[in-house]
Structure 1
Amino acid sequence: MAIDTLDHGFDRAEVFARIRRRTIFTIAAPVMILAYLVYTWFAFDISGILERAQPERAAILATDSVAYKVHVTKDIRRGGLEVAIEGERTATYDNANAPDWVKIDGDNAVVDLGEGYIVDIAGKTMKFTVPGYGVITATATKKGVETQLPPGDVPDWIKDDPRKFDARPTIDRRVQVTKTKIEVHNYFGGWENFWFAFNSPLHGKSFGDLVSLAMSDQRIDPDRSNLSLIVHEFLSNPDWQHGEVFTALFETVMMAVLGTLTAALVGLPLAFIAARNFTPSFVLRFGVRRLFDFLRGIDMLIWSLIFIRAFGLGPLTGALAIAFTDTGTLGKLFSEALENIDNKQVEGVRATGASQIQRYRYGVIPQILPVFVSQVLYYLESNTRSATVIGALGAGGIGLMLVETMRTSRDWENTSYIIILTILVVIVMDQMSSWLRRKLIEGK
């Protein structure tokens, strides 16, 4: 009798059926993923987004975040020529002490942008010499701007409009002409006036000069020591606002710490009520568990908006938003940890005649301490980042300052500064969390 079976008693048809099902699944899964990606491409209008993208503007903003520009400006209406860092009145050079790449002759100037790029400003006319292209002439008139370009096709880096002429042959060189002014931008790497303001008596001094000044008995300001003056001039820098930034960072960290600790201290007692092996009442357990769902079901940002309307702007709203959200999350995690403890350790403590509180202290807490510490420290680190986002909505801290610097395109170096400081704070919090975890859990 012939039986269609394999040597080990398996039905050959069943084996082939399994292979076909697995083959179909192997093919169907990538096809479904591909179909989903195609759907999202059209649903989210990816093609339109790519068409509207402005990568050149992103490159400009990236450049502004790591470099600064010096403006050479000729005011055609009132006359006069000005050289200023970022175009600021408070950071304007004296024409007699202008940078060596700017040669000023009355209301006229010759600006050497390097590598053969020369701008000659004479009266209402600007001549821009571009290596490999030629000389561009732009003259301001009562109606707008008249330009003369070298013969041939107009390159993409030139925007020749009757109302405004704009040429940017490289990312770090730019000239603009309107009927009211002629402006030249020259970019330099670094952050301008980072340590001290342009008009500060300490501006331009080297680190060695500052050390010598701090140790000197001859005071620059009779009312304070030189060391105190150095610290004051640094923190009160009006361009970078170091003092305000450090205060905002401290507020952000305090929001995260206060919110997380409040959530942990409130969530742990509620976790005992929500745990099945500690609270026999189903109604009580059900109510507390639904409370956890309610608290963590509303996003932290929504809580912050609610508290802003209730208590106004300030760090307290951010701390409350973190506390409410994390009370639900940590409470649920703690209750699950309590339900998974080993009752033998609790029974052993009970056998010694310990009271209910002592049984919790010596039989329960040591078992959930690793989970408690790990989760609290993790959420403390995570909430440091979340506090930045909450602060951007109005809760204060470094997030609010970050949004303020992003409102204008001229402050992207300040934006980079704040982002870098925020990342450093998160790194420090992560290292401190790791150290505390080792000390409290591993005993190292």
Structure 2
Amino acid sequence: MSDAAILTETRGLFRRKRLIAAALPAIVLAYLIYIFFAFGVPDMIRTADTKNARILVSDSYSHKVHVTRDNRDGSVDVAIEGERKGRYPAGEAPAWVTLGDTTEIDLENGHLITFGPELITYEIPGYGQITAQPGNRGVNAELPPGEVPDWINASKNRLSITTDAGRLTITRNRSEVFRYFNGWELFFFTLDSPFHGMGPGEVLSRAMAGDAAAIWRDFWTNKMWRHSDVAWAIFETILMAFLGTVGAAIIALPLAFLAARNFTPLGAARFAARRLFDFLRGVDGLIWTVVLSRAFGPGPMTGALAILLTDSGTFGKIFSEALENVDDKQIEGIRSTGAKPLQRYRFGVIPQVTPILLSQILYYLESNVRSATIIGAITGGGIGLLLTQAIITQKDWEEVSYYIVLIILMVMLMDTLSGWLRRRLIHGKPA
């Protein structure tokens, strides 16, 4: 081939490479543009409610105190998060609420709400006073002259005012004020506990004085946050993952010998074992969860069985491939001593595949702890159930963030523990 032909061929080769290098990013970009419109991202952005998003985020790290007036009899209740378990005793209220025939609610910075015998007023700095009279015919509201701002929603039967200081909602039968505070209120002690309102130092001194058991009891049986129930739910989630993972490993190991080519010469047996593994791992764990919950009812054991079925197929494939890659020389050495087949498997095969098997089992145990959270939401067990209930109610989003934090800590703990076990069992190192 002449030099000119070589030069022409080389230039053509570089031209094709440049075209390919330019075409690949263009194809990826075109695919991303297609996804952007096919999945309705513009519509999602247009319909997104940033106000609700801000409220959701603020609810995750704060709590609100409800001051509620029954417009029919004039009675006023004060409760944290509006729950009966967080209600102040009759006649008691926080310092910013003054109870009486006329209840005054000081939201600070000039925001003052008054629950009178007939009228309800809200003094808003820079805007003026809003007066409302709830009755059988609805809510008769008087606003300052001018255009109604968007943070006021007024209709015949309802008046809602949302400011930076708080929120006031008035209907025919009820008037309610929400005031937000940072932190998870009553996380340690409820209002009926003698340790409520104490600082860390005072609680510690009381514990040193002999009240440690009472302090722990009031914390552990907290009716608002249910720490004992949450701890049991965490235990159920870990137990679900452990039973499912270990049970799957126990079932998959003998079946893996049946599926390994170098241990089962009969092709029909290998084919049947491999198709069984494909069937078990081909059906997602969530599908197994739904099927088993219909068959056996809800509960953590149903979730463990779902993990067991899915991981039995996965472990069977992984274990059989590990068995097919064992070194035959070590097995031959054991055979030369006159060892029987079971002894050859025990001393010639198991030591070779144990590191791989343990590594995979520990990895899937760590992964199944996360999966057990979702499975528990379906089967009615574990921390997943509590998380789902908190999300569905859409009332106490600080509980949702609390459960998410616990799930993250649980996963971190399992990651650390599985890493330590992997080093200890496989490499023989204590740390």
What is the TM-score normalised by the length of structure 1?
0.90
Select 2:277's aligned residue among 292, 312, 322. 292
1:208 Cα deviation from its structure 2 partner: 4.2
Q: Does 1:31 align with 2:31?
A: no
Q: Does 1:169 align with 2:154?
A: no
CA deviation vs aligned residue, 1:163-185 (integer Å, no higher than 9, x gap)? 21111122x51111222232211
Residues 326/2 of structure 1: CA separation in 2 closer, same or farther (3 Å cut): closer
1:197 Cα deviation from its structure 2 partner: 2.5
Asked if the contact 1:144/1:178 (under 8 Å) is kept, the reply is yes
Select 1:255's aligned residue among 240, 247, 251. 240
Select 1:180's aligned residue among 170, 173, 189. 173
Q: Which residue of 1 aligns with 2:60?
A: 65
1:338 Cα deviation from its structure 2 partner: 1.5
CA distance in 1 between partners of 2:50 and 2:3 (Å): 69
Select 1:240's aligned residue among 225, 233, 239. 225
Select 2:395's aligned residue among 410, 423, 442. 410
CA distance in 1 between partners of 2:426 and 2:405 (Å): 31
CA deviation vs aligned residue, 1:84-126 (integer Å, no higher than 9, x gap)? 212233433346542221223x231222212232223333333
CA distance in 1 between partners of 2:326 and 2:148 (Å): 76
Q: Which residue of 1 aligns with 2:369?
A: 384
Residues 122/395 of structure 1: CA separation in 2 closer, same or farther (3 Å cut): closer
Q: Which residue of 2 aligns with 1:270?
A: 255
Q: Which residue of 2 aligns with 1:144?
A: 138
Asked if the contact 2:139/2:170 (under 8 Å) is kept, the reply is yes
Asked if the contact 2:189/2:222 (under 8 Å) is kept, the reply is yes
Residues 2/96 of structure 1: CA separation in 2 closer, same or farther (3 Å cut): closer
Select 2:312's aligned residue among 305, 327, 330. 327
CA distance in 2 between partners of 1:155 and 1:34 (Å): 43
Q: Which residue of 2 aligns with 1:86?
A: 81
Asked if the contact 1:341/1:364 (under 8 Å) is kept, the reply is yes
CA distance in 2 between partners of 1:161 and 1:23 (Å): 66
Q: Which residue of 2 aligns with 1:282?
A: 267
1:303 Cα deviation from its structure 2 partner: 0.8
Q: Which residue of 2 aligns with 1:220?
A: none
1:409 Cα deviation from its structure 2 partner: 1.6
Q: Does 1:4 align with 2:37?
A: no
Letter in 1 for 2:188: W
1:334 Cα deviation from its structure 2 partner: 1.2
CA distance in 1 between partners of 2:85 and 2:360 (Å): 49
Q: Does 1:367 align with 2:352?
A: yes
1:209 Cα deviation from its structure 2 partner: 4.2
Q: Does 1:113 align with 2:107?
A: yes
CA distance in 2 between partners of 1:94 and 1:441 (Å): 60
Q: Does 1:429 align with 2:411?
A: no
Residues 68/376 of structure 1: CA separation in 2 closer, same or farther (3 Å cut): same
Asked if the contact 2:139/2:157 (under 8 Å) is kept, the reply is yes
Q: Which residue of 2 aligns with 1:129?
A: 123
Q: Which residue of 1 aligns with 2:189?
A: 196
Q: Which residue of 2 aligns with 1:223?
A: none
Asked if the contact 1:316/1:395 (under 8 Å) is kept, the reply is no
In terms of mean alpha carbon deviation, does 148-157 or 15-24 score higher? 148-157
Asked if the contact 2:190/2:196 (under 8 Å) is kept, the reply is yes
Gaps of 5+ in 1: 6-10, 218-225
**3-state SS of the aligned residue for 2:395?**
helix
In terms of mean alpha carbon deviation, does 332-341 or 199-208 score higher? 199-208
Asked if the contact 2:85/2:223 (under 8 Å) is kept, the reply is no
Asked if the contact 1:74/1:183 (under 8 Å) is kept, the reply is yes
1:215 Cα deviation from its structure 2 partner: 5.1
Residues 241/3 of structure 1: CA separation in 2 closer, same or farther (3 Å cut): closer
CA deviation vs aligned residue, 1:198-220 (integer Å, no higher than 9, x gap)? 22344334444444444556xxx
Residues 196/386 of structure 1: CA separation in 2 closer, same or farther (3 Å cut): same
CA distance in 1 between partners of 2:360 and 2:381 (Å): 26
Letter in 1 for 2:176: E
Asked if the contact 2:85/2:224 (under 8 Å) is kept, the reply is no
Residues 194/3 of structure 1: CA separation in 2 closer, same or farther (3 Å cut): closer
Letter in 2 for 1:177: I
1:2 Cα deviation from its structure 2 partner: 6.7
Q: Does 1:42 align with 2:27?
A: no
Q: Which residue of 2 aligns with 1:154?
A: 148
In terms of mean alpha carbon deviation, does 363-372 or 258-267 score higher? 363-372
CA distance in 1 between partners of 2:127 and 2:332 (Å): 89
In terms of mean alpha carbon deviation, does 422-431 or 147-156 score higher? 147-156
Asked if the contact 1:318/1:390 (under 8 Å) is kept, the reply is yes
**3-state SS of the aligned residue for 1:198?**
coil
CA distance in 2 between partners of 1:85 and 1:36 (Å): 50
Letter in 2 for 1:252: T
Residues 152/392 of structure 1: CA separation in 2 closer, same or farther (3 Å cut): same
